[in-house]
């Protein structure tokens, strides 16, 4: 463990911050706290950890003992996942896209990348790097899911030509295997296993909200194709929504549970008539007279 002190004049949002530099075989963590010896200077405490679950647990205990207010780490390759899922339930963890740090990279006074991340977190330089608020508007998508979505996709939708390309990359597009016009398989293609697994939870949450478009959509698909395929179809809808929210920088707007009725009222009337007939009744629809103001 090495401790260093330096005098800086950064604007500070968090007095006690930490940065974690991720590697394949080890992690370097740096905690930045106010110096007890000189006002305006900071103590940097750096510690090296392994990448095993035991070592990541030791990292968690080390950070919690130092009462850090924010922890910043980059979504580097696949290294971040094991660390993120251990730390996130216990700490204010900020997972940032490396591309968003290029313009504010380390200065010579930063002894390590971990120290830079701690300084960036303390000064709020990475605050709002991820467009979490817009993703939070998608029914069923919480903050944790939004962070993972951003980390996995990089938040830059320019790499995906369309919403369908993103859905295919995740692996929530139905596979096609037709012979003589008969679709033999509806299995989805392989894709990003982390995101594909993650999207199942928001899809289930959306299905449970009976007032939502996604719940109505699920019921329509489940009636024809079964519950499992209907769930994948809702995950596909989520992928489409994610692309549009991040690409268009606009919040998600639910179409409502009555969307299909409004889109095709004649079909809704035929369905109700068929259901009434199956119960031995006839039914007639008369338009409701417009109410005139008194």
Domain presence at residue 243: yes
Q: Which of 34-38, 145-149, 171-175 has the lowest mean pLDDT?
A: 171-175
Of 232, 248, 264, the residue that ends a domain is 248
Q: Does residue 176 share a domain with residue 116?
A: no
- Tell me the C-alpha distance between 33 and 16, whole Å: 5
Using DSSP bridges, classify how beta strands 17-22 and 2-7 pair: parallel, antiparallel or unpaired.
unpaired
- Tell me the C-alpha distance between 58 and 49, whole Å: 8
pLDDT tens per residue, range 154-199: 777 888 999 999 999 999 986 543 333 344 445 556 678 888 988 9
Residue with tokens 């096609």: 176
Cβ neighbours for 49, distance < 8 A, ≥ 6 positions apart? 26, 27, 28, 29, 55, 56, 58, 59, 62
Domain presence at residue 238: yes
Domain presence at residue 22: yes
Radius of gyration of the chain (CA): 26
C-alpha dist (Å) from residue 256 to 193, 194, 221, 268: 30, 29, 16, 15
Question: What is the pLDDT at residue 138?
Answer: 93
Q: Does residue 170 share a domain with residue 107?
A: no
Domain presence at residue 155: yes
Q: Does residue 11 share a domain with residue 86?
A: yes
pLDDT tens per residue, range 100-115: 677 666 555 567 889 9
Which residue did the predictor score with more confidence, 118 or 95?
A: 118
**CATH number of residue 107's parent domain:** 3.30.420.10
Q: Does residue 137 share a domain with residue 65?
A: no
Of 79, 95, 123, the residue that ends a domain is 123
- Tell me the C-alpha distance between 284 and 19, whole Å: 68
**Could you tell me what percent of the chain has a pLDDT over 70?**
82
Q: Does residue 162 share a domain with residue 94?
A: no
Q: Are 101 and 162 in contact (CB under 8 A)?
A: no
Domain presence at residue 291: no
Q: Are 164 and 247 in contact (CB under 8 A)?
A: no
- Tell me the C-alpha distance between 168 and 166, whole Å: 5
pLDDT at 76 over 80: no
- Tell me the C-alpha distance between 80 and 69, whole Å: 19
- Tell me the C-alpha distance between 220 and 260, whole Å: 10
Domain presence at residue 172: yes
- Range picked from 6-10, 35-39, 90-94, 162-166 for highest mean pLDDT: 162-166
**Total domains, the chain:** 2
Domain presence at residue 89: yes
Question: What is the pLDDT at residue 181?
Answer: 36
Domain span at residue 209 reads: 132-248
Q: Does residue 116 share a domain with residue 8?
A: yes
Residues in the chain: 294
Give the pLDDT band (50/70/90) at residue 287: confident
Question: What is the pLDDT at residue 106?
Answer: 54
């Amino acid at each position: 463990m090495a401790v260093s002190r330096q005098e800086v004049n950064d604007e500070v949002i968090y007095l006690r911050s930490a940065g974690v530099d991720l590697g394949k075989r080890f992690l370097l963590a740096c905690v930045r706290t106010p110096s007890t010896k000189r006002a305006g200077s900071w103590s940097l405490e750096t510690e090296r950890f392994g990448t095993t679950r035991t070592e990541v647990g030791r990292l968690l205990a080390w950070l919690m003992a130092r009462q850090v207010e924010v922890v910043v780490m980059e979504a580097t390759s696949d290294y971040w996942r094991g660390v993120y899922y251990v730390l996130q339930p216990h700490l204010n963890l900020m997972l940032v896209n490396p591309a968003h740090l290029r313009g504010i990279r380390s200065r010579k006074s930063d002894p390590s990348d971990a120290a830079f991340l701690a300084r960036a977190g303390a000064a709020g330089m990475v605050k709002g790097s991820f467009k979490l608020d817009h993703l939070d508007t998608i029914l069923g998508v919480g903050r944790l899911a939004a962070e993972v979505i951003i980390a996995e996709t990089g938040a830059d939708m320019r790499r995906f030509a369309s919403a369908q390309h993103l859905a295919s990359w995740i692996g929530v597009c139905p596979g096609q295997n037709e012979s003589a016009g008969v679709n033999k398989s509806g299995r989805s293609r392989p894709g990003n296993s982390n995101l594909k697994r993650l999207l199942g939870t928001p899809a289930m949450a959306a299905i449970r909200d009976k007032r939502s478009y996604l719940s109505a959509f699920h019921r329509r698909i489940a009636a024809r194709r079964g519950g499992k395929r209907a769930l994948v179809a809702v995950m596909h809808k989520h992928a489409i929504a994610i692309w549009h929210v991040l690409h268009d920088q606009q919040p998600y707007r639910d179409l409502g549970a009555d969307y299909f009725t409004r889109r095709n009222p004649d079909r809704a009337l035929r369905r109700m008539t068929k259901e009434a007939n199956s119960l031995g009744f006839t039914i007639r629809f008369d338009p409701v007279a417009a109410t005139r103001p008194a």
